[in-house]
Amino acid sequence: MSFKDKILSSFIALENEVDTETYAHSLRNEALGNFEKLGVPQRKEEAYKYTSLKSVFNKDYSLFPKKDTAIEYSDIKRFLIHEIDAYRVIFVDGIYSSHLSQTTHDKFDVCLMSSALNNPKYNSVIETYYNKLASQDGLSSLNTAFAREGAYIHIGKNIAVEKPIEIVYFSTGNERALMTQPRNLVVVGENSQVQIIERHQSLSDNEVLTNAVTEIFAAQRAMVDYYKIQNDKLNASLLDHTSVDQRTSSEVRLHTFSFGGSLTRNNLNFYQNGEHCNSLLNGVTIIEGKQHVDHSTLVHHSQPNCESYQEYKQIFDDRAVGVFNGKVLVDKIAQKINAFQQNNNILVSDKATINAKPQLEIFADDVRCSHGCTIGQLDEEALFYMQSRGIGKKEARALLMFAFANSVLESVKIPEIKSRITKLIAKKLQVDIGFDL
């Protein structure tokens, strides 16, 4: 049975389980039709020219995980930024785990998508925002058709959320191969601030495929600081689709740290729909083996006087493959735009590959748009300098690589995340140093 057939037959099973009277369900049929038409993206499509999803979709995934998988806090503590107090929305095999989570409804809502989709209390928000921003490509549509669970974050006006919100999806691997469709909605009101950390983590050696869709709405003067930590096991693949809508004077910062996973595709779309918006898209990728990480970013400037800043630092070893496909689009009326895009890559091995396609599409004349892309190696002289001063070769290399990636880390606002990422980098580079020399 092909993947498409499986999806179609599974949808009938889904309809028996969910409330078919909701607004969300009315979107499902259309989305399914859309997926049926578009299917899984093929390499002949320009957007997937360098990333083949064939190996990811040829497995026999279970779309409905078994219920009630119990895991203890001690099992997962190391995957959380446990040093800090945070709101936590934790899912195990796509199902909400109440005893691991800490949600709230006090001043704002940090809770579950399932309750938001089914509870009439949230109807107005859902109808205003849900699926209004996500792109309508095959994979996003697949998510819309099957999405039932995820994080629902709604912050009203004038609220600075006092602690970060951590969203973590665990998969236990009780299924032979599992595919999940997490769906997050983040709505941040005027003058409000929020920090969010998102992570997908497999706990077993079975195949896991995550097809996640996140929609983020930042109202006037809102500030959103979003961190994606991707350090999954090698049996896990992630297809992430994140779209951001920004209104006047809002600021959205999104960091993506890709260290793990077999295949990772990050579709990141920023739409600036107000003046004086500020967007920051930063990323660090360090991969080896046969890992594949694809960053596909779009910043659409449709209003004047905005800024966007992108910086992606990537290191590839062994047979790793990296793709960077960045696009900056400036509409005719969007004058006085300052857009910057930088993509620096280091290839450590001869078998590693990087395919970069930094694009600019500019229709306005009074703009400053630039992009830079480099591919190179570590500086042999710098390595020699350090070695001649008694630093081991491995450590010297690690130091240089860390320094290379550090400019991205500097914009991380949560110190605990910074130190966690630093440790992950040290582990990834197989050295035991703290980089705080």
Residue type, 126: I
Contact 148, 116 (CB under 8 A): no
Judged by CB, which is closer to another protein: 252, or 367? 367
Using CB under 8 A as the binding criterion, the count of chain residues that bind another protein stands at: 36
Of the candidate residues 5, 17, 106, 366, the single one contacting another protein (CB under 8 A): 366
Asked whether position 377 contacts another protein by CB under 8 A, the answer is yes
What is the end-to-end Cα distance of the chain in Å, rounded?
Answer: 56
Q: What tokens does 431 get?
A: 């050295």
Of the candidate residues 19, 46, 60, 162, the single one contacting another protein (CB under 8 A): 46
Q: Which region among 104-112, 123-131, 364-372, 384-392 touches another protein (by CB under 8 A)? A: 364-372
- How large is the angle between the packed helices 23-38 and 138-146, nearest 10 degrees? 150
SS3 call for 66: coil
Strands (DSSP E) found in 117-218 = 151-155, 165-171, 177-180, 183-188, 193-202, 207-218
Residue type, 148: R
Q: Which region among 100-108, 173-181, 374-382, 422-430 touches another protein (by CB under 8 A)? A: 374-382
- Chain centre distance of CA 326: 15
334-353 binders of another protein (CB under 8 A): 335, 345, 347-353
Q: Label residue 416 exposed, middle or buried (CB < 10 Å: 0-12, 13-18, 19+).
A: middle
Of the candidate residues 188, 197, 354, 396, the single one contacting another protein (CB under 8 A): 354
Least distance CB 49 / another protein (angstroms): 9
Judged by CB, which is closer to another protein: 29, or 349? 349
Asked whether position 401 contacts another protein by CB under 8 A, the answer is no
Judged by CB, which is closer to another protein: 21, or 350? 350
Judged by CB, which is closer to another protein: 107, or 351? 351
Contact 235, 210 (CB under 8 A): no
Phi, psi at 85, each rounded to 5°:
-75, 135
Least distance CB 313 / another protein (angstroms): 15
Q: Strand 87-92 to strand 95-96: parallel, antiparallel, or no bridges (unpaired)? A: antiparallel
Strands (DSSP E) found in 45-181 = 87-92, 95-96, 109-112, 151-155, 165-171, 177-180
Asked whether position 355 contacts another protein by CB under 8 A, the answer is yes
- d(CA 173, CA 222) in angstroms, rounded, equals 38
CA-based nearest residue to 195, from 304, 106, 81: 81
Judged by CB, which is closer to another protein: 353, or 407? 353
Judged by CB, which is closer to another protein: 223, or 298? 298
263 strand-pairing partners: 292
Of the candidate residues 367, 399, 405, 412, the single one contacting another protein (CB under 8 A): 367
Least distance CB 433 / another protein (angstroms): 24
Binding mask 287-326 vs another protein (x if CB under 8 A, - otherwise)?
----------------------------------------
Judged by CB, which is closer to another protein: 352, or 405? 352
Least distance CB 243 / another protein (angstroms): 23
Of the candidate residues 84, 362, 383, 391, the single one contacting another protein (CB under 8 A): 362
CA-based nearest residue to 210, from 243, 187, 192, 233: 233
Tell me which residues touch another protein (CB under 8 A). 46, 50, 332, 335, 345, 347-377
